[in-house]
Structure 1
Amino acid sequence: MQNLQFEKAWDRTLSAKDRKRIEEIFSETKSISEHPVHFSTLWQAKNYKGELLITVLIHNFRQQLLSFCETPIRYVEGTTIIAEHIFTIPSLRIEPTTSMPWTFIFPKESIICETSLMNGHLQFMYEKL
């Protein structure tokens, strides 16, 4: 059975409204196990530096720990690749059969074309898992 877990800093700072939304999306998507890892988009934004912030609920449906070390990920809207970046996040470790929210920050230089910030999703640039 899939469990929802929050990283400690998220658990302390997350608003009640955002927590409720994450819990609702978890309930709706916790059984999507077509792939060993699935990203459910929560929200997307651009910050003042021009970076692209994509917040997702990461579902680790595998029976092993999930970590991100030199992991190439892209942000796609429809069929258009918006950004690509290789992520190494030492603090992000997702236990087996666990889902956790996380924000991936794509540096300005990783953005390939303009974004509408609507209906986008993350995907691995190649099937690593």
Structure 2
Amino acid sequence: MLPFFKKKNGESPKMEGSESTVSSEELLDETSTDSSDDEIYTELSIHPEWNIPKEDRYAFQFLNQELPPLKPNQLSLSGINIMQSDDGSYRIAAFVRNSLDKAIKLEDATLVLLDDNDEVLGRKAFNLADVGEIPAKSARPWNFKFTSKDLFTTELPAEGWKLAFQLKPTSRKHSLELAESWEKSLAEESKQQLEEMVNKLTPPKAGEVNFMGLKANQAENGDLHVTLLIRNGSEKNVNLEQLPLQVEDASGEVIAKGGFKLEKLQVKANTSKPWTFIFPKSLITKESIDLSKWKAYPPEQKK
């Protein structure tokens, strides 16, 4: 077995990966009977069959104490480190954390390895029964082996990566996502209306990203404000940095066309996010526009 930690001139061990969390109800159909705690700190739990040196046990204890608290009814994978074996495979060490007030047992699950932009670096199905029974409110270190067949790259990042449970598509309902600025400024009634609309709409096809018009109006200064619902049917987050858009009014004519720099506008996996795009008056190609009926779309998506 590979050593658990890289010896670096007496330096204290550190978490080289990030943490991913998932609802225990989504993954296991399990919830706590008492969910009154706002923050749950996990206790270290070493597998009873592991015989490890005291030095490694102290290191695991130290790292566990550094981990942030979980919320009730969560499971998480907290990345410890990645080490390469002589055969070229990788051993990815992570804490499996349980915030429930009861012990759990994991079974078959697919894990994905992600970089710091949530791009998928690898994927593998595991039988996690060997992890054993994870006690209530505890963190158990475990090793996950990825071979070249499980990875989509030959270079893995030293830090910032994370392991995550891949939920089955049927268990993930397409939902509304609001940017922080929208969360703060939008009235509760408007939020509820948006959420109800997203719930009623047929979700986008798997892997599809599309745009749905919500609202369009022309301001007093002549600028055109267009609010779209960006719908991500993919199982991974989508980052939009630049987006060309054009708008047609009721006549079917293109009345505005422009490109938008979005500074990595992120739409999370399987969610819809509203966003407003402002076309300056100078980009409007028609003097009198009819917004009783309209549509906006990237030019390449026009059918």
- Between the aligned partners of 2:202 and 2:239, the Cα distance in structure 1 is 19
1:1-129 to structure 2, matched below 5 A, reads: 1-33=173-205, 36-78=208-250, 79-90=252-263, 92-113=265-286, 114-127=288-301
Native 8 Å contact 2:245 2:298 kept in 1: yes
Deviations 1:72-99 (A, max 9, x none): 1111225221111101111521112111
Shift of 1:16: 2.8
CA RMSD of aligned residues (A): 2.1
- Between the aligned partners of 1:65 and 1:112, the Cα distance in structure 2 is 34
Deviations 1:31-82 (A, max 9, x none): 2439822222221111232110011211111233323333211112252211
State how many pairs are aligned.
Answer: 127
Native 8 Å contact 1:68 1:87 kept in 2: no
SS, match of residue 126 in structure 1 = helix
> Aligned partner of 2:236: which letter?
Q
Native 8 Å contact 1:67 1:89 kept in 2: no
The structure number with the bigger radius of gyration is 2
- Between the aligned partners of 2:276 and 2:222, the Cα distance in structure 1 is 15
Deviations 1:75-128 (A, max 9, x none): 12252211111011115211121111111111111111132122212111124x
With 15-24 and 48-57 compared, the bigger mean Cα shift is at 15-24
Change (3 A) 1:75 1:67: farther
With 64-73 and 109-118 compared, the bigger mean Cα shift is at 64-73
Percent of aligned pairs with the same amino acid: 24
> Please, what TM-score do these two structures have when normalized by structure 2?
0.39
- Between the aligned partners of 1:119 and 1:35, the Cα distance in structure 2 is 28
- Between the aligned partners of 2:180 and 2:235, the Cα distance in structure 1 is 22
> Please, what TM-score do these two structures have when normalized by structure 1?
0.84
Going by fraction, where is strand more abundant, 1 or 2?
1
Native 8 Å contact 1:70 1:88 kept in 2: yes
